[in-house]
Structure 1
C-alpha cells in the first residue's frame, strides 16, 4: 500500500477492521480505476475506496473521516462531466453504485423509494407496468444514478416541460458530514418549514451523502407525438424554436443538433437524419389526445414557416426511438470524428441562440478548433462539444481556452456557466464571474452549517473555499463574548 498521511492511514486501518475485506480497496492498480469521473481531463487517485452497500457502511465511513478530519467524496456511476466526483488524494472515495434496490413503486400516491445507486432509466422501467414513469432523463440515463442526479440536480431533454431533479424529489435520507443520519423532506408534498432538501439537491456532494431517495412518478401521457425537422441552418432551426414557444406551446422537449453533431451521430448509430441538414430539431409533445393533435399541427406549420425542408413524424414507439437515437448518442458519438473532446455546459436566453452560435463559431475559427452543438434548445441549455487532438502540440490548451471563452460568452448574454452538469472542480474558477464575493460567502456559510470541517467533497464549486470559522467580508476584531469563551464562531 502506498504511503499515506497519518490521519488517512488511521482511517484506512479503521475501515479495514470494520468493513468486509472486499469493500475496502487500497491496491494502487484498482484505485486508478476511480481516478476521475466522466471528465477525463482531471485525474486524482484516492487514498482508499470504499464500496458501500448499505447506509450503515456509509455512516461508518463518514464517521471515521469526521473523527480524523479526513476528506471524503461520494461517487455513483462516474458519468459526471464537471469533475464533481474527482477524488481527494488523501481522502476516502465512497462508491455508492452498490446501492441498487428499488424498494417501492406506489401508483396510489405516485411515489417510488429507491437506493442512490439505482440507474435513472430503471425507475421508469419499474414504474411502467402500473402506467407511470420518472420524468428527468439525462442523456446518460442508461447508466447515471439517482444519487448522482440528486447531487447535480440533473435535467435532460424533457426538463423543458417537467423540470429538473429538484422538481421530482420528495425526501432524501442523508448521512451528514459528521456521520449523523437525517431525513430531509417528507413523502407528502410541500413539507413545512425551510426547504433544507432544496439546498441539498444540486449541492454536488458538499453537504453529505444521500442513502435513499423518494421520487415523484408521473402518469404516462395518453398521447406522445415525436417529430424530426430538418433545416438548412441553425438560424432557421432557432427561429422555429422561438416561434413554437412564442405561440404558447410547451413541448415536452425541443432538442437541436448542428451539422457536425449530425455527422457524428450518423457515423456512430446511422440515425438517418435528413440529408443536407445544417440543423435538426427533435420536438416531442405529450398530453391528452386532442391537445397533442392540435399542437402537433401548429408545430409542423411553424417549422415549415421557418424553413424546415423535411419533417418526419414517428408513427409508433419504434420510430420514436429511432428519432431519439441520434440525439441520445450525440455525446459519445463525437468520438467517431475526433480523438478528444470537451463537453461544455452553459445556458443562454433562448432569444440569443442564433447570435451566440455565430459568436461561438467565430471563437472556434480563431483557434482552429471545431465545435459540435447539441443542446436543449427549448430552455437555452447549450452543450457545445469542443473537438481537439491531444497529440497535436498546443491543441489541448487551445480547446481548454475555447471552452472557457464559451462560458464567458454565455455570461455576456445574461446566461449561466452551467445548466445541469454542475460546477464541480472544472468550473469553480468561473464562479466569481457569475457571483459576487458576498454571494459566494453566503453560499459557503450554508455549506459550513452542514460541514463545519470542510471534509465533504472539498475543492468543488468554490474557487477559494472559506474556512467555516471565518467571518464573511473584512476581518473584524473578535466579539467580547468570543474573547471570553462564551460564544463561538460557526
Structure 2
C-alpha cells in the first residue's frame, strides 16, 4: 500500500536511469524493484514516506564518483543515505531520484592510538568505533541514542550529539577530516589531521549540511581517553521549575558535567516499567548529572553537584556506586524513545534548542500546548545544552491526530525561536522542519544558505527540497508576508 501523498514512480525515467547506471556499476549494486526499494522509503521519521525510483549501494569511491557523474549528466536528484536512523526526513527519497546508500562503506581503515584518531568509512556504526578503540583505552565521544545503529556518515550529515555532548562536543568538534565527492564527481578533502587546516573552514560548513553538499567516503575522527571513573547523580524534584533552574545553577557554579539530562514525570513513568532504572515515578522532574575523570576529581565534582542540587530543591539524590548502577540510571534516558511505544501507538519526536535559563518557562508552555492540541507530551532532553526532545504522543489511526501532532511540534519550535533558541539541535531540518526555517530565518538569510548550496551543487541535485525552503514555500506556509508580489531584498538571487 502506498503512503499518503506518495508520488508514483516514473517508469520510463526509471528505465533510463537504471540502464545508465548498469553501464557503470555491478548489477547487484542497483535496486529498482519495489520489493527491494520499499525498505528505503523513509528514515526514522516514518510519517513521511516515498518509494525510491532507484537505490544504489556502491562499494568503492570510484563507484560513488561514477554514480554522481551519471546522475549529473541525467539531471537525476540524489539522496545520500546512511543507516536511516535520522528523525527529520532528511533521507526520504524523491520519486524521480536515486538513493545512494553508504551501507557497504563499513570498514575501519586505520586506528592510531598515538595520535588518538581513527580513519573510518561512512557506513561504520558510531558504537563500532568505540568498540574498536576500547583495547587502546580510547573511545569516540559523540553518543546519540541510536549509536548502536547510526553510522558516522549520517552523524556528519546531521552533526549528531548525544548525552555527553555538553562536555565533549558534537560531531563537528570530534571530526578532523572528511573526504567527499561532489556532484560533479570531484574528490575533495576538507580539514586535515593537524590542529587547523589552511584556507576557509569548509569542514564546519560541511558537517551538518544534511547531504546537500557532497557524499562522504572517508572520515577521520578524534578519540579520547576512556575515563578512569564515571559516576552519575540521579536527582528528583517535585516541580519542573526547580528542576529547570537546577540545570542553570549547576552550570553557573562553574561545573561542566560529562552529561546533564532531564526527564519529566510522563517520561519517567513511561520508561520505568520498561527498564526498571530506579526512577522516582512521583517526581515531577528527574535530573541525571554525570562526572567522569580520575577518581579524585570525580568525587569532588559529585560532591559539588550534589550540594547545588540540594540547594536548588532536590527532594532525593542517589549516586551510582558502581558501573552497573551507572548504566542502569542511564538506561531509562537511553530507552525513552522505544518506551514511548508502551503508552502510545505513535509518537512524534521534536528537536529544538533553547537557552538553559528558559527551560522552566518552555516546559510550562508545553504543558499548556497539550491542552490546546489535545495531545500528551513526554519531555526528555539534553538539559545541559538546552536541546529539547519532546515526544508528542498520538494515534495515527485516529483521523486528524497526526496533523494535530505536527501543529503541536511547530508551536514548540516557534516557542524555541521566541525565547532565543533554534529549531534544531542535532536532528537536522530535513523535510520535517522546513516550514519552521521560515520562522527562524529572514529571506536574505535563506538566500545566503542557497548561495552556499549553489557553490557546491549548481544543479541543486544533492538532496533537493530539504533543509532550505524556497521563498514561495515560506509564503505558502504563511510564515512570510508577500505584499503586491514584492518582498524585501527582491534584488537578491533566488533559488
Q: Same fold (TM over 0.5)?
A: yes
Q: Which is further off, 132-141 or 18-27? A: 18-27
1:49 aligns with 2:55: yes
* Match of residue 21 from structure 1: 27
* Match of residue 389 from structure 1: 395
C-alpha contact 1:257 1:280 (8 A) present in aligned 2: yes
> In the alignment, which of 345, 350, 357 is matched to residue 351 of structure 1?
357
> In the alignment, which of 419, 433, 449 is matched to residue 439 of structure 2?
433
* Match of residue 423 from structure 1: 429
Partner Cα distance (2:441, 2:372) in 1? 29
> Any idea what the Cα deviations from partners look like across 1:157-197, whole Å, max 9, x if unmatched?
11111111001111111011111112111122211110111
Displacement of 1:38 in angstroms is 0.3
1:123 aligns with 2:129: yes
> Any idea what the Cα deviations from partners look like across 1:432-482, whole Å, max 9, x if unmatched?
21111111111111110100010000010111179xxxxx943499xxxxx
C-alpha contact 2:158 2:210 (8 A) present in aligned 1: yes
Displacement of 1:298 in angstroms is 1.1
Displacement of 1:357 in angstroms is 0.5
SS in 1 for 2:436: helix
1:286-365 matched pairs, under 5 angstroms: 286-365=292-371
TM-score after normalising by structure 2: 0.92
Q: CA RMSD in A?
A: 1.9
> In the alignment, which of 445, 449, 461 is matched to residue 443 of structure 1?
449
* Match of residue 490 from structure 2: 474
> In the alignment, which of 260, 264, 269 is matched to residue 258 of structure 1?
264
Partner Cα distance (1:339, 1:268) in 2? 16
Partner Cα distance (2:402, 2:343) in 1? 16
SS in 2 for 1:428: coil
Partner Cα distance (2:427, 2:338) in 1? 16
* Match of residue 482 from structure 1: none
C-alpha contact 2:272 2:281 (8 A) present in aligned 1: no
1:30 aligns with 2:46: no
Q: Which runs of 5 or more structure 2 residues have no equivalent in the other structure? A: 1-7, 473-487
Displacement of 1:329 in angstroms is 0.5
C-alpha contact 1:5 1:90 (8 A) present in aligned 2: no
Q: Which is further off, 301-310 or 291-300? A: 301-310
Aligned residue pairs, count: 473
Displacement of 1:16 in angstroms is 2.3
SS in 2 for 1:442: helix
Q: 1:7 to 1:28 in 2, by over 3 A?
A: closer
* Match of residue 212 from structure 2: 206
TM-score after normalising by structure 1: 0.93
Q: 1:320 to 1:18 in 2, by over 3 A?
A: same
* Match of residue 136 from structure 1: 142
